[in-house]
């Protein structure tokens, strides 16, 4: 079977700022018949809190992730990190120096077999350990789909909560990078959002990555944690040195506004923030929300925002058809229908394999987002004026 490998020279350039990108409660899964998906809170099992303003270091995202892994390995002797090439630091250097400090029995390389990596993690977690599995690129998580969907996600449910693999966290770099092509640029988060029993988490920045990863590892449910590879080196900010967690399933309002609500996650939020700045020159006030956790997502916060603004735009890198933006659009249309002043819009990737030289045309850019925002706002004002004579 022919498999892929990046040269280290190419990997070292994966987070270069091409095309002008700028940085910018845990619970136990319980089946609930006849109702919406439900996570029962378990504050005794995972503590979630916003980071206090303490001692910080200015670091990039891969360093913040390395700090989080170091914190877990140092504080929990039953935690393990494993995956392809993690022993020497991984292709993105997220596991640098971990094996030297914690030993080969806790940080170790695996064969090039994603199904085996996740399957091993499920067994390790089911015995009460913290299993932190790395998939080298999210594009290659699909061989492990059966293990995640049919084993990890259903383990607690099928045993009536007698046993579980809640200690499993699957890390995977995802998304565009400027020159990754169709095998190193995909955004597969929507595949996993269709699966009850797992959580899907995506950070937007170094401080978010550290807090959300620590919360994911300590959460009593299996978590798929996607890391925007474009931001590994590009996103730099002050990150608390101490151990802290950020709440899962709790979205964050990054920017308050009154005319339109924008919802996104991961690296796309930097693009959306630029678009908000652009249309603010035209007098359009945007409320920008980082979803942070896609499943289960913070529907209430988004509803409150849309009820205030009357408009919603969702943007993500994944193809538009079947993307998670469609779920948000359908849900908000159903719950906020009488308050919407315009149809929900989606600005997403195209329904094509991820291109190489045509990546700039595929991506949901600042101009695409700005154009839709301005169009929705202008059309609504014209429609309202015509109705009022």
H helix intervals, 58-193: 61-75, 98-102, 114-126, 145-146, 155-158, 189-193
Give the integer Cα–Cα distance in Å for 242 and 55: 7
Whether 238 is catalytic? no
In whole angstroms, what is the distance from residue 181 CA to residue 4 CA? 12
Burial, 252: exposed, middle or buried (Cβ in 10 Å; 0-12, 13-18, 19+)? middle
Longest dimension (CA), the chain: 75
Quick one: which H or E segment has residue 185? none
Q: How far apart are CA 276 and CA 284, in angstroms?
A: 8
Contacts of 28 (CB under 8 A, 6+ apart): 39, 40, 42, 45, 156, 161, 166, 220, 221
Catalytic residue among 114, 151, 278, 327: 114
Beta carbons of 172 and 225 less than 8 angstroms apart: yes
Write the CB contacts of 245 (distance below 8 Å, at least 6 apart in sequence).
46, 47, 48, 49, 211, 212, 214, 215, 218
114 is catalytic: yes
**Stretch (H or E) spanning 373:** helix 366-387
For every residue of 224-286, DSSP letters joined together read: EEEEETTHHHH-EEEEESS-----TT--EEEE--SSEEEEE-TTHHHHHHHHHHHHHTTT--E
Kindly name the residue from 84, 134, 184, 377 that is annotated as catalytic.
184
Catalytic residues: 114, 184
């Amino acid at each position: 079977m022919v498999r892929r490998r990046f040269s280290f020279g190419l990997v070292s350039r994966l987070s270069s700022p091409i095309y002008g990108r700028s940085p910018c409660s845990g619970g136990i899964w319980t089946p609930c018949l006849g109702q919406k998906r439900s996570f029962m809170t378990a504050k005794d099992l995972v503590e979630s809190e916003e980071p206090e303003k303490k001692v910080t270091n200015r670091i990039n995202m891969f360093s913040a992730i390395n700090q989080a892994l170091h914190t877990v390995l140092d504080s929990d002797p039953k935690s393990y990190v494993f995956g392809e090439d993690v022993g020497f630091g991984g292709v993105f250097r997220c596991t640098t120096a971990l094996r030297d400090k914690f030993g080969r029995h806790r940080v170790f390389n695996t064969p090039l077999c994603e199904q085996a990596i996740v399957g091993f993690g499920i067994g390790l977690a089911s015995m009460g350990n913290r299993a932190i599995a790395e998939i080298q690129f999210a594009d290659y998580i699909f061989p492990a789909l059966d293990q995640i969907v049919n084993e990890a996600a259903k383990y607690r449910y099928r045993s009536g909560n007698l046993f579980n693999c809640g200690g499993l966290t699957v890390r995977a770099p995802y998304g565009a990078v400027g020159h990754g092509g169709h095998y190193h640029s995909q955004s597969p988060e929507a595949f996993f959002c269709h699966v009850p029993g797992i959580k899907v988490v995506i950070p937007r920045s170094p401080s978010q990555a550290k807090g959300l990863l620590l919360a994911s590892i300590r959460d009593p449910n299996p978590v798929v944690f996607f890391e925007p590879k474009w931001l590994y080196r590009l996103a730099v900010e002050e990150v608390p040195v101490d151990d802290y967690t950020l709440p899962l399933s709790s979205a964050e309002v990054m920017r308050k506004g009154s005319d339109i609500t924008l919802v996104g996650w991961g690296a796309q939020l930097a693009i959306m923030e630029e678009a908000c700045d652009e249309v603010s020159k035209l007098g359009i006030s945007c409320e920008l929300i980082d979803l942070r956790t896609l499943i289960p997502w913070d529907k209430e916060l988004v509803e409150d925002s849309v009820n205030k603004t009357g408009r919603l735009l969702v943007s993500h890198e994944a193809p538009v058809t079947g993307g998670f933006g469609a779920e948000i659009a359908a849900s908000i249309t159903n719950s906020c229908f009488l308050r919407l002043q315009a149809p929900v819009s989606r600005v997403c990737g195209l329904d094509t394999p991820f291109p190489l030289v045509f990546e700039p045309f595929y991506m949901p850019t600042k101009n695409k987002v700005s154009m839709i925002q301005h169009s929705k706002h202008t059309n609504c004002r014209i429609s309202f004026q015509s109705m009022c004579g």
